[in-house]
Structure 1
Amino acid sequence: MSPSSPSSLPRPPGFEQAAQRLRDLVRRLPPQPPSFVAARLLDRVLLPRLDEHQRRDLAARVVEVEVVELGLRVRLRLGERGFQTASDRQEPALRIRAQAAALWRLVRGEDDADRLFFERALVMQGDTEYGLILKNTLDAIGPLWR
């Protein structure tokens, strides 16, 4: 028996309308609460794996990640004591947009950032050099989550 994809499962009446209302609500929320949670998570799973050189290369630049279908945005920067939330007033050096499934596959090492990028499942905008540094660093340390 093959597993069903989430899109092929039957949905109860009113599901799409409820999901749209939830997305609309999430889009209006400030990015600080989810950014704080993401920063704490990255402090545990990513920060210990970064060497001094990698930390220096990634430091002090704002990265914004948007989970497209949820309208969820996190804004982070790497500081001296770990990952920190970044305010909306700080212009991101890099914006990353993707569906949740693509981000999850990337974090688990089940998909390659280059492939997702060329298939337009992952969109990166901003400082190209910084984006390559981030991508190469993540490639070098391997999957963040198994």
Structure 2
Amino acid sequence: MSQGRFLLPAPVGKLLSCLPVYPGSLLFSTGLNLALRDTLPADVQQALQGKRLRIRVSDAGVSFDFSFDGGRFRACQGDATPDLTISASAHDFLLLARREEDPDTLFFSRRLSMEGDTELGLLVKNTLDAIELPTFELLKQLPARVLGRVRS
């Protein structure tokens, strides 16, 4: 079975989709601030200023809504249309974060999708590609079986 086929079981996704949106977005934006605070170049910060983004974990039924304002990421309520939505399964996001999969490969195999401002999407992708690996080292320490053993 290919790595892209590892999806959370439907009952788990249904349960997760019942969680309120804002607390997850707050945790996600806090994590982004801790991980990326000192790594985003000024021109990228300027381009992100005021933009609303959504990360949608398709198999978990959850989304994280956030914006970049005042030099930091801030959680948003999920009631407004984001400028950019990036969607993938939990396993594929983990592979991306651990740099075990290329975003272009996932995109062209339809395992990753971007909706909205494609120029903003390319900026996000290129910025993450340019960040030095130590930012993501903690994720490499996660056991591969966290999501790897869950199959649909």
If the TM-score is normalised by the length of the shorter chain, which range does it land in?
0.7 to 0.9
> Structure 1 runs of 4+ off > 4 angstroms?
none
What is the TM-score with the length of structure 1 in the denominator? 0.81
Aligned residues of 1:109 and 1:142 also touching (Cα < 8 A): no
The aligned counterpart of 1:12 is none
Over the aligned positions, Cα root-mean-square deviation in angstroms equals 2.0
* Matched-pair identity in %: 32
1:37 alignment partner AA = L
1:132 to 122, 131, 147: 122
- The runs of 5 or more residues in structure 1 that have no matched partner are 9-15
The aligned counterpart of 1:99 is 89
The aligned counterpart of 2:43 is 53
Displacement, 1:81? Answer: 4.2
1:80 to 2:80 alignment: no
1:141 to 2:131 alignment: yes
Aligned residues of 1:69 and 1:99 also touching (Cα < 8 A): yes
Displacement, 1:36? Answer: 0.4
Which one has the largest radius of gyration? 1
Whose relative contact order is higher, 1 or 2, with alpha carbons under 8 Å and at least 6 apart?
2
2:127 alignment partner AA = T
Instruction: Write the distance in 1 (CA, Å) between the matches of 2:66 and 2:14.
Output: 22
The aligned counterpart of 1:32 is 22
What is the TM-score with the length of structure 2 in the denominator? 0.78
Does the residue aligned with 2:59 lie in a helix, a strand or coil? helix
Displacement, 1:75? Answer: 0.3
Instruction: Write the distance in 1 (CA, Å) between the matches of 2:60 and 2:79.
Output: 22
